[in-house]
């Protein structure tokens, strides 16, 4: 059996962490939905930068936009391109959305990374994108910064589906889960609301492993490649406390669903580790794993499936304690990771706008020459 399909039997949804115009038009995404059980798509500025900025796939769409809007700003061009991709993906996944009664089949679109410390700006852009895309299976991605967490609550209260992203720590998770619960309480139709808490995994090992290697010694080196998974397992245990006990019962009675934990950044960054480790070690019920294409193919080929997320929670707790005993501040490291994540999305976003500006100027110059305008 396809290991990706086996994940479904464990209660885990598989989302594709990738989007590009060709897979939407040539049937590739539809095949992944039908054959692999892919039930969602996530996007971010870095993904769009590679898709649009590093290919010619969008050149005709850019030309069409400029023909219709020759005075249009580059931000409007960017929005037109990504909204079209998101709509195409959402339409492909609509059957999943309808077949799961609105619990799956989502496509995520992120607000500008430059709004990560601006709650009002985030609210305004999230509302605008929600109306512009106009698909029930859209999720608006909002970063889990201190400044934007109130915006998450407000959007949810308004009935807008939210993918809260760039979480690296238990503190990040608890703040986001609290915002979800408060937003859910205020929402008039909580049974129609969906949200995921995107918790980043492999980057934690990248950051902490460097500290451990610099520290040296048997105790430190024994923790290499273990902290990201331990951190994730403890976060999932907190999810269970919040959403699987009596405290969530009143909302369940109103038809509301828990805010699933979504494992993000699950490609293996260190070639010394198994290429599917961050999929294999975090398999559990009511979760999502958003997987980039290379890791998806690797897991389809040789992934091993079992209820690993529920295994050895005491061992995970011990590893976090051992990290602390070595004087390594995991909370400080995860705060750095969140800021680095914001920067890693802002840079490709700006790069893409620069590329689009260059393409726009070149195409407009070409149009001007052909029309005889100097």
pLDDT tens across 234-257, in order? Answer: 999 999 999 999 999 999 999 999
**The predicted structure's pLDDT at residue 337:** 97
Examine the pLDDT at 327 and tell me if it is beyond 90: yes
Q: 63-100 b/e with 16+ CB inside 10 Å = b?
A: bebbeeeeeeebeebbbbbbbbbbbbbbebbeebbeee
User: Percent of the chain beyond pLDDT 70?
Assistant: 98
**The predicted structure's pLDDT at residue 71:** 87
**Residues designated as active site:** 141
- The answer to whether residues 332 and 307 touch, using CB atoms and an 8 Å cutoff, is no
Residue 367's pLDDT band, with cuts at 50, 70 and 90, is low
Ordered by where they begin, the domains of the chain are 3-366 (3.20.20.70)
**The predicted structure's pLDDT at residue 1:** 86
Structure tokens at 22: 């060709």
pLDDT tens across 281-319, in order? Answer: 999 999 999 999 999 999 999 999 999 999 999 999 999
Tell me the CA distances in angstroms from 151 to 52, 135, 145, one per residue in order: 29, 21, 10
Where on the phi/psi map is residue 260: left (φ > 0), alpha (ψ -120 to 50), or beta?
Answer: beta
Average pLDDT over residues 114-137: 98
Handedness of CA 260, 40, 31, 28 (dihedral sign): negative
**The predicted structure's pLDDT at residue 369:** 37
Residue 371's pLDDT band, with cuts at 50, 70 and 90, is very low
**The predicted structure's pLDDT at residue 366:** 75
Average pLDDT over residues 81-105: 98
Structure tokens at 340: 């680095």
Mean pLDDT score of the chain: 95
**The predicted structure's pLDDT at residue 240:** 97
**The predicted structure's pLDDT at residue 363:** 84
pLDDT tens across 136-185, in order? Answer: 999 999 999 999 999 999 999 999 999 999 999 999 999 999 999 999 99
**The predicted structure's pLDDT at residue 72:** 85
Examine the pLDDT at 93 and tell me if it is beyond 70: yes
Strand ranges inside the chain, DSSP E: 12-17, 38-42, 106-110, 138-143, 162-167, 195-200, 260-264, 287-291
Examine the pLDDT at 119 and tell me if it is beyond 90: yes
Examine the pLDDT at 122 and tell me if it is beyond 90: yes
Examine the pLDDT at 374 and tell me if it is beyond 70: no
Average pLDDT over residues 344-358: 93
Residue 70's pLDDT band, with cuts at 50, 70 and 90, is confident
Examine the pLDDT at 373 and tell me if it is beyond 80: no
């Amino acid at each position: 059996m396809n290991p990706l399909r086996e994940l479904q039997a464990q209660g885990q949804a598989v989302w594709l962490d990738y989007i590009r115009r060709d897979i939407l038009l040539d049937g590739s995404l539809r095949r992944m939905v039908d054959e692999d059980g892919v039930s969602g798509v996530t996007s971010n500025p870095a993904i769009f930068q590679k898709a649009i900025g590093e290919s010619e796939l969008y050149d005709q769409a850019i030309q069409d936009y400029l023909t219709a809007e020759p005075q249009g700003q580059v931000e409007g061009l960017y929005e037109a391109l990504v909204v079209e991709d998101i709509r195409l993906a959402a339409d492909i996944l609509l059957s999943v959305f309808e077949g799961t009664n609105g619990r799956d089949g989502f496509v995520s679109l992120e607000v500008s990374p430059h709004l990560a410390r601006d709650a009002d700006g985030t609210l305004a852009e999230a509302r605008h994108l929600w109306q512009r895309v106009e698909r029930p299976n859209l999720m608006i991605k909002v970063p889990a910064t201190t400044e934007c967490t109130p915006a998450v609550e407000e959007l949810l209260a308004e009935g807008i589906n939210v993918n809260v992203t760039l979480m690296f720590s238990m503190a990040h998770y608890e703040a986001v889960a609290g915002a979800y619960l408060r937003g859910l309480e205020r929402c008039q139709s909580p049974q129609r609301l969906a949200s995921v808490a995107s918790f980043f995994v492999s980057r934690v090992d990248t950051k902490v492993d460097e500290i451990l290697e610099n520290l040296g010694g048997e105790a430190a080196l024994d923790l290499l490649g273990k902290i990201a998974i331990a951190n994730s397992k403890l976060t999932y245990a907190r999810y269970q406390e919040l959403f699987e006990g009596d405290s969530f019962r009143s909302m369940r009675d109103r038809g509301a669903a828990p805010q699933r934990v979504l494992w993000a950044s699950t490609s293996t960054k260190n070639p010394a580790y198994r290429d599917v480790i961050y999929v294999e070690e975090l398999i559990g019920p009511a979760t999502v794993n958003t997987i980039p294409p290379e890791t998806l193919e690797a897991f389809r080929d040789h992934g091993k499936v079992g209820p690993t997320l529920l295994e050895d929670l005491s061992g995970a707790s011990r590893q976090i304690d051992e990290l602390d005993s070595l004087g390594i501040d995991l909370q400080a490291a995860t705060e750095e990771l969140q800021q680095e994540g914001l920067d890693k999305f802002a840079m490709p976003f700006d790069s893409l706008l620069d590329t689009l500006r260059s393409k726009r100027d070149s195409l407009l110059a070409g149009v001007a020459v052909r029309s005889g305008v100097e």
